[in-house]
Amino acid sequence: MIFNKKAIDIFWISNDAISMREYGDYDVGDTFFSALTFSYNEVKPSDTATKSLKKIDINIYEGIGMIFSIDNYAGDPTWVFDCGIYAFSIDQPPPEGIKSGSYVKMQFYLVFDENYHSQLRINGQRLSKAIPGMVYSWRVKDILIMIEEEIGRKNFANLPIAYTSSKGEIYKRITGTNVDEDCGEDFNTSYILVCEMLQHADR
């Protein structure tokens, strides 16, 4: 894969078919603005306050950074992770003992925001105003689909395997998503969008 050298960085973003049925498909080359959300696998206190981020599997990142809580969304705890980029969670509270303002080491995967950020507030102020640069500009450079059930193996049988995760999950490369045709009525799979982060939306 060859990427635009002007990109700030390249990110591998998870997308499930259920969400894409509601919010729409993607093609290679698409550009758009979006904030990032995250779901974590592991969180523990960090011995350092030096922010960092690295990819450790096909869609899993490990980051060191600060977490801070913001106003609840629909009654659920909402918090932001700042590891050099911003991402937030609206449905997965921090583990017990992890407090706002703490530096943590976290393993997580990233997901594009479904416009929740526009509804979030910090002390009554809109999140995008309180944290300039929360929304990023993106360009899709590659799309991978996870092959996990019979319909997936049938629909994409002729495509070579592009990646295999450490768990043995098989991904194949496609030029665009078409959730209804890709997945069928009962086939729930997931995609990874390999995207260039071009700039912060407020720049």
Based on the fold, state whether residues 124 and 158 are members of the same structural domain.
Answer: no
Residue 202: per-residue pLDDT: 47
* pLDDT tens, position by position, 143-182: 999 887 666 777 788 899 999 888 888 899 999 998 888 7
Based on the fold, state whether residues 65 and 122 are members of the same structural domain.
Answer: yes
Kind and range of the H or E run holding 180: helix 179-183
> Higher model confidence: residue 24 or residue 65?
65
Based on the fold, state whether residues 120 and 156 are members of the same structural domain.
Answer: no
**Contacts for 47-56: CB closer than 8 Å, 24+ residues apart:** 48/103, 49/103, 51/82, 51/83, 51/84, 52/83, 52/84, 53/83, 53/84, 53/85, 55/12, 56/107
Residue 103: per-residue pLDDT: 95
Among residues 76, 99, 134, the one where a domain terminates is: 134
Residue 2: per-residue pLDDT: 38
> Higher model confidence: residue 96 or residue 48?
48
Based on the fold, state whether residues 113 and 127 are members of the same structural domain.
Answer: yes
Based on the fold, state whether residues 150 and 104 are members of the same structural domain.
Answer: no
Q: What is the DSSP pairing of strand 103-112 with strand 76-82?
A: unpaired
Based on the fold, state whether residues 130 and 143 are members of the same structural domain.
Answer: no
What is the tally of structural domains in the chain? 2
Mean pLDDT of the chain: 83
Residue 186: per-residue pLDDT: 64
Residue 81: per-residue pLDDT: 92
What is the total residue count of the chain?
A: 203
Residue 77: per-residue pLDDT: 74
Among residues 85, 109, 134, the one where a domain terminates is: 134
- Its domain, for residue 202, covers 1-33+139-203
- Mean pLDDT computed over 16-21: 81
For residue 121, pLDDT over 90 is answered with no
Min mean pLDDT across 133-137, 171-175, 193-197 is at 133-137
